[in-house]
């Protein structure tokens, strides 16, 4: 969107008419005022000369007074010195017991419940009253793509369960022009007043007569609003045709609480209803919604010349956040599934050829999930549509799922293996939702994890089914379990089932915990129950609650019934409550006494905090699995719980005396970390050094991840993970390498200005050289090998392996001169290297290529690569381009910020940019956006200096970050963890690396 277009839209927004009748709500003025010094005519501050140039009166005192004052000062200084001597902290820069990261975050109390007209708002609860239940909506929308004006009319039929003389529902940024309530006999019930409370986004209608329980009524509304520009609700987007013409379209994104900005409604997931959607459009556009088109009628006489209205079939019962509408001029490709469901992909006409791979994969996934869930898809069609601007990766709207272009479209000639895998995983996630999440929906957002966590688990099951050679369940560990464990090690984490109320709190839990931790505990549960029992329980759950809502206890009950006929019934609820109601996870520590192993558990935290004393009492039902040297291929499992009380507890178990090693948490299927006494760690390190394939790739990766993380928390000597990682010279699998390189890059970040950094680079180059010599830049390798090759080449270039850097620069030069076409799997590495070692010419060449390409994955390649420059001026221009939306879409700002922040040259530039442009960021994304938190994490969480920590604390102390509050607290905690790690290990790291790194 150009700045000129934005200005036109701003003027249009300001022109929304004000409410001025009993049935209208007063318009809102969100303008703010600030206090400034008086200015002169030329704009300078007008200070009165007398304040600066008039001599002030001179203070005088007697000799006695002077002696008394001096004595008082000396006594005060002595007292202060004594206080400082006895109460000063023992470790400067180190977090102390009792520190609470919540204290560093500004909290804004909710305003008084006053309606926009100044009257008290009678309903002072963020949740709607439960005695009015919507049954069916009929909604007609007319979004004007030229003026961005939105007009709508609707009728909702609702049931009353308790006598009442008022109705409360949601509405955001809408102007009601007509309000009419009727009984079942179509007799009008007069309204006495209409109030609007923006803070809770609620509208209150008071009636002259009471509505009686057991009866149905209807509410008819006409309203006005605006087509939004912030990627929420019903908003405008655009793309450019091959001829450079900008084409506009309208789309929706209602999850979690934005349906209310497109039409007034009961915008809570438990209020499922049927929807009959109509949309007024221009004749040369096409409209799509959840259901197939019913009919099209000419409505020029009502809505304007040349307009038609598309009416869609009435939907099945569903939640408001799943309603969807798109008006566009896209092309379409489609196939029919085994059960006769038409599955289509919509994209700009010149990009439909890039949807072929996704369509074939989607049909296979659809057929698999229909069989897996044992329940027929209840709609006649499923449309998948690519969107140029979309805040999330994708959205599972029932029958009309919306995707970012990069999550759906790909070019076989330019798209990498990792990008293809990403497309299929996102497809699988949204298709799994068509049953789990749409057919059965959580009752309230505190169980968001129930929907998103399961879909994040199911996507790997689905992709593993259609691409078994991709080793997806091993990759699950790297993509879900490990990221979840990192976030959940913070005292500022949250339980997967967490109390939320307002839109800001709801938006904040669309995070790693809800998605990846949720997925990880589902994976752990499946390993305990077995795949078949898990599947039967899921089928029972869907059958019992189809077209309705459920909570996690409903799921645990269905899964428990599946275990009744098994030889070992599992108390699913007792087990899972310990994983869902407590934040964090256990650290299981193994100690050996002869042939006995003592396994203890405690809440693992990366940094001590004031919450530690509370959380130290947490215990979990841990399905502790292990193997030993006596039977390396046999997995044993024992529950960490008291056999009499069934409470979670520490345990003792026996192993043979001749066992030389024991390895717990087999294949990292459990959601916990494991520590060992030093002798056991040394035995495991010896096995890795001499016979690494004794352990599976997942086990090797888990040992690396646990060792580095425990060292970061100060629970393990830092030389243990470094010594363990020396075996990597013989490693040839993707999962251990990707895990190790994550930690080595993190170590490089905190050592950025330390003397040990050079030795670290030498050490990593030594590790990667053997495998680099074998793999090189040859790209015709199997899928999982291509992922390994990418990790290896990125590390070789990043840590300065000269042969890799020289080859990447040579390829970049040849590509830039048009001599070669770069293979998809290595092109972004070559781009980054060319820009890193080049100057403005190389950077601008890639910038122009970014603006020209219409391949979504290629655009992402360039966005990441453009952040690799070593020139601070270039990086500053890049950040300015992003923030000013110069050819960079709003949805991609976070990608630019993250990429520049990961560049040591750009790290502080990003932080300064965030501070100076904070107001713009708030306006662009809004406080109720998950993007705010992710920007904060990207910009500051890698800091490792006390001064940087103080800078972040100071800036945000009086800033309301909205849904980014938890991310800010987590960033502060991560910075403190980095500081603690360096305070403890800096000297030891330098000594070990100097001794164990080859000269380079």
In 175-320, beta strands by DSSP E: 175-182, 188-189, 191-197, 202-211, 216-226, 233-240, 246-253, 274-282, 286-289, 293-298, 307-312
Q: Phi and psi dihedrals of 119, rounded to 5?
A: -80, 155
Q: Which of 284, 204, 212, 239 is nearest to 23 (CA)?
A: 204
Confidence at 306, pLDDT banded by 50, 70, 90:
confident
Domain 350-584 annotated CATH 1.10.150.110:
no
User: Rounded distance, CA 681 to CA 707, Å?
Assistant: 9
Report the chain's mean pLDDT, rounded to a whole number: 88
- Check pLDDT > 70 for residue 911: yes
Which pair of tokens denotes residue 272? 């499922």
User: Rounded distance, CA 599 to CA 612, Å?
Assistant: 21
Confidence at 23, pLDDT banded by 50, 70, 90:
very low
Q: Phi and psi dihedrals of 626, rounded to 5?
A: -160, 160
Contacts of 23 (CB under 8 A, 6+ apart): 176, 177, 178, 179, 191, 194
Q: Which comes out higher in pLDDT, residue 16 or 758? A: 758
3-state SS assignment for residue 958: coil
To the query of whether residue 459 is one of the catalytic residues in this protein, the response is: no
- Check pLDDT > 60 for residue 49: no
Confidence at 502, pLDDT banded by 50, 70, 90:
confident
Sign of CA dihedral 105, 109, 115, 118: negative
User: Rounded distance, CA 696 to CA 735, Å?
Assistant: 10
Q: What is the mean pLDDT of residues 318-339?
A: 97
What is the DSSP pairing of strand 246-253 with strand 233-240? antiparallel
- Check pLDDT > 70 for residue 3: no
- For residue range 759-774, list pLDDT tens digits in order: 999 999 999 999 999 9
Same fold, 1-32+121-329 and 350-584: no
- Check pLDDT > 60 for residue 41: no
Q: What strands, in cross-sheet order, belong to the sheet with 394-395?
A: 331-336, 342-347, 381-387, 400-404, 394-395
User: Rounded distance, CA 879 to CA 895, Å?
Assistant: 11
CA atoms within 13 A on the CB side of 469: 7
CB atoms within 10 A of CB 753: 9
pLDDT at 18: 30
> Cis before residue 256, ω within 30 degrees of 0?
yes
Domain 586-692 annotated CATH 1.20.1050.10:
no
Find the catalytic residue in 405, 430, 505, 791: 430
- For residue range 426-470, list pLDDT tens digits in order: 999 999 999 999 999 999 999 999 999 999 999 999 999 999 999
Confidence at 570, pLDDT banded by 50, 70, 90:
confident
User: Rounded distance, CA 179 to CA 395, Å?
Assistant: 32
pTM of the model: 0.87
- Per mean pLDDT, which range of 110-124, 231-245, 602-616 is the poorest? 602-616
pLDDT at 76: 54
Q: What is the DSSP string of 231-268?
A: SSEEEEEEEE-TTS-EEEEEEEE-TTTTGGGTS-B--S
- Per mean pLDDT, which range of 16-20, 365-369, 622-626 is the poorest? 16-20
In 571-686, beta strands by DSSP E: 586-593, 596-603, 622-628, 631-640, 651-654, 662-664, 673-676
Phi-psi region of 530 (alpha: psi -120 to 50; beta: other; left: phi over 0): left
Which pair of tokens denotes residue 468? 């078994």
Q: What strands, in cross-sheet order, belong to the sheet with 274-282?
A: 188-189, 175-182, 216-226, 149-160, 132-143, 274-282, 307-312, 293-298
Q: What is the mean pLDDT of residues 781-791?
A: 94
Confidence at 293, pLDDT banded by 50, 70, 90:
very high
pLDDT at 87: 40
pLDDT at 566: 65
Contact at 8 Å (CB) between 494 and 581?
no
pLDDT at 753: 86
User: Rounded distance, CA 654 to CA 641, Å?
Assistant: 16
Which pair of tokens denotes residue 148? 């961005």
pLDDT at 687: 97
- For residue range 575-631, list pLDDT tens digits in order: 999 999 999 999 999 999 999 999 999 999 999 754 444 455 788 999 999 999 999
pLDDT at 779: 78
- For residue range 826-881, list pLDDT tens digits in order: 999 999 999 999 999 999 999 999 999 989 999 999 999 999 999 999 999 999 99
pLDDT at 884: 87
- For residue range 374-422, list pLDDT tens digits in order: 999 999 999 999 999 998 889 999 999 999 999 999 988 888 999 999 9
Q: Which of 217, 215, 126 is nearest to 167 (CA)?
A: 217
Contacts of 399 (CB under 8 A, 6+ apart): 289, 290, 291, 315, 324, 379, 381, 382, 383
Confidence at 561, pLDDT banded by 50, 70, 90:
confident
pLDDT at 624: 96
- Check pLDDT > 80 for residue 5: no
Residue that is written with structure tokens 């425990």 in the block: 710
Which pair of tokens denotes residue 813? 């030069």
Q: What is the mean pLDDT of residues 500-513?
A: 90
CB atoms within 10 A of CB 115: 20
Contact at 8 Å (CB) between 953 and 979?
no
Which pair of tokens denotes residue 114? 């006053």
- Check pLDDT > 60 for residue 633: yes
Q: What is the mean pLDDT of residues 803-815?
A: 97
- Per mean pLDDT, which range of 5-9, 215-219, 436-440, 647-651 is the poorest? 5-9
Please give the CATH architecture assigned to the domain spanning 1-32+121-329. Sandwich (2.60)
- Check pLDDT > 60 for residue 81: no
pLDDT > 70: percent of the chain: 87
Q: What is the mean pLDDT of residues 37-45?
A: 35
pLDDT at 110: 73
In 362-428, beta strands by DSSP E: 381-387, 394-395, 400-404
Q: What is the mean pLDDT of residues 743-757?
A: 93
Question: So where are the chain's domains?
Answer: 1-32+121-329, 350-584, 586-692
Contact at 8 Å (CB) between 241 and 854?
no
- For residue range 919-969, list pLDDT tens digits in order: 888 888 876 677 888 999 999 999 999 999 999 999 999 888 888 899 999
User: Rounded distance, CA 804 to CA 797, Å?
Assistant: 6
Q: Which comes out higher in pLDDT, residue 91 or 971? A: 971
Contact at 8 Å (CB) between 320 and 254?
yes
- Check pLDDT > 90 for residue 1000: no
Q: What is the DSSP string of 479-502?
A: IIIHHHHHHHTSTT---SS----S
Contact at 8 Å (CB) between 873 and 909?
no
pLDDT at 111: 78
């Amino acid at each position: 969107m150009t700045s000129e277009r934005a200005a036109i839209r701003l003027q249009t927004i300001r022109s929304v008419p004000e409410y001025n009748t009993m049935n209208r709500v007063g318009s809102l003025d969100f303008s703010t005022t600030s206090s400034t010094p008086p200015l002169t005519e030329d704009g300078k501050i007008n200070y009165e000369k007398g304040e600066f140039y008039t001599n002030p009166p001179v203070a005088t005192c007697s000799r006695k007074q002077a002696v008394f004052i001096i004595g008082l000062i000396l006594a005060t200084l002595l007292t202060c010195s004594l206080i400082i001597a006895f109460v000063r902290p023992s470790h400067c820069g180190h977090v102390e017991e009792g520190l609470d990261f919540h204290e560093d975050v500004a909290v804004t109390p909710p305003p008084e419940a006053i309606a926009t007209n100044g009257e008290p708002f009678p309903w002072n609860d963020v949740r709607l009253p439960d005695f009015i239940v919507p049954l069916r909506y009929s909604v007609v929308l007319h979004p004007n793509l030229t003026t961005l004006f939105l007009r709508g009319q609707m009728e909702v039929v609702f049931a009353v369960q308790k006598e009442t003389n008022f109705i409360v529902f949601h509405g955001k940024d809408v102007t009601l022009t007509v309000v009419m309530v009727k009984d079942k006999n179509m007799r009008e019930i007069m309204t006495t007043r209409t109030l609007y409370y923006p803070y809770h986004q609620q509208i209150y209608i008071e009636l002259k007569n009471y509505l009686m329980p057991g009866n149905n009524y209807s509410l008819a509304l006409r309203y006005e609003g605006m087509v939004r520009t912030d990627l929420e609700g019903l908003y405008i987007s655009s793309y450019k045709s091959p001829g450079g013409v900008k084409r506009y379209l309208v789309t929706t994104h209602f999850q979690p609480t934005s349906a209310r900005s497109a039409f007034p409604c009961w915008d809570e997931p438990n209020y499922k209803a049927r929807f009959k959607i109509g949309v007024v459009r221009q004749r040369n556009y096409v409209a799509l919604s959840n259901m197939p088109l019913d009919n099209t009628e000419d409505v020029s006489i009502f809505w304007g010349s040349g307009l038609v209205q598309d009416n869609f079939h009435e939907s099945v019962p569903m939640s408001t956040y799943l309603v969807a509408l798109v008006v566009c001029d896209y092309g379409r490709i489609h196939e029919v599934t085994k059960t006769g469901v038409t599955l289509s992909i919509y994209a700009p006409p010149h990009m439909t050829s890039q949807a072929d791979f996704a369509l074939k994969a989607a049909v296979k996934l659809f057929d698999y999930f229909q069989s897996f869930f044992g329940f027929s898809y209840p709609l006649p069609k499923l449309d998948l549509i690519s969107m140029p601007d979309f805040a999330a990766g994708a959205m599972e709207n029932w029958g009309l799922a919306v995707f970012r272009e990069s999550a759906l479209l790909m070019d076989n000639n330019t798209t990498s293996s990792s990008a293809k895998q990403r497309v299929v995983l996102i497809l699988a996630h949204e298709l799994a939702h068509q049953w789990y999440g749409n057919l059965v929906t959580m009752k309230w957002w505190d169980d968001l994890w129930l929907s998103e966590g399961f879909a994040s688990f199911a996507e790997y099951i689905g992709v593993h089914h259609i691409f078994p050679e991709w080793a997806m369940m091993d990759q699950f560990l790297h993509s879900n379990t490990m990221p979840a464990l990192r976030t959940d090690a913070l005292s500022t984490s949250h339980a997967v089932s967490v109390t939320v109320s307002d839109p800001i709190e709801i938006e904040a839990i669309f995070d790693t915990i809800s998605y990846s931790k949720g997925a990880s505990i589902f994976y752990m549960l499946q390993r305990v129950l077995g795949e078949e029992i898990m599947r039967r329980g899921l089928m029972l759950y869907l059958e019992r609650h189809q077209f309705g809502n459920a909570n996690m206890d409903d799921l645990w009950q269905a899964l428990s019934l599946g275990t009744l006929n098994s030889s070992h019934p599992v108390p699913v609820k007792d087990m899972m409550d310990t994983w869902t109601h407590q934040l964090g996870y256990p650290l299981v520590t193994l100690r050996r006494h002869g042939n006995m192993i003592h396994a203890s558990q405690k809440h693992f935290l990366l940094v001590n905090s004031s919450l530690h004393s509370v959380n130290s009492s947490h215990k979990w039902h841990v399905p502790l699995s292990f193997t030993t040297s006596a039977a390396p291929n046999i997995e044993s499992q024992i529950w960490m719980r008291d056999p009499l009380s069934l409470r979670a507890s520490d345990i003792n178990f026996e192993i043979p005396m001749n066992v030389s090693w024991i390895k717990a948490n087999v294949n990292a299927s459990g959601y916990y970390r494991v520590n060992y006494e030093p002798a056991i760690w040394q035995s495991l390190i010896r096995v890795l050094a001499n016979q690494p394939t004794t352990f599976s790739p997942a086990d090797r990766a888990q040992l690396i991840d646990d060792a580095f993380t425990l060292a970061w928390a100060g629970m393990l000597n830092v030389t243990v993970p470094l010594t363990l990682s020396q075996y990597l010279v013989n490693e040839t699998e993707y999962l251990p390498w990707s895990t190790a390189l994550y930690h080595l890059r993190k170590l490089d970040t905190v050592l950025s200005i330390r003397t040990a950094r050079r030795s670290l680079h030498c050490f990593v180059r030594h590790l990667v050289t053997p495998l680099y010599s074998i793999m090189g830049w040859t790209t015709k390798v199997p899928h999982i090998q291509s992922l390994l090759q990418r990790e290896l080449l990125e590390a070789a270039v990043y840590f300065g392996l000269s042969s890799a850097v020289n080859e990447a620069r040579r390829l970049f030069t040849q590509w830039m001169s048009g001599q070669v076409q770069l293979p998809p799997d290595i092109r972004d590495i070559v781009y980054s290297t060319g820009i890193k070692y080049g100057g403005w010419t190389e950077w601008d060449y890639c910038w122009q290529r970014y603006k020209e390409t219409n391949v979504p994955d290629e655009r992402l390649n360039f966005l990441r690569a453009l952040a690799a420059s070593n020139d601070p001026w270039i990086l500053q221009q890049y950040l300015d381009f992003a923030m000013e939306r110069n050819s960079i879409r709003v949805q991609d700002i976070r990608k630019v910020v993250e990429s520049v922040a990961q560049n040591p040259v750009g790290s502080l530039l990003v932080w300064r940019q965030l501070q100076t442009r904070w107001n713009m960021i708030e306006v662009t994304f809004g406080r109720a956006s998950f993007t705010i938190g992710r920007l904060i994490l990207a910009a500051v969480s890698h800091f490792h200096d006390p001064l940087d920590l103080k800078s972040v604390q100071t800036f945000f102390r009086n800033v309301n970050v909205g849904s980014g509050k938890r991310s800010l607290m987590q960033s502060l905690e991560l910075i403190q963890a980095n500081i603690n790690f360096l305070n403890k290990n800096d000297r030891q790291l330098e000594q070990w690396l100097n001794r164990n790194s080859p000269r380079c």
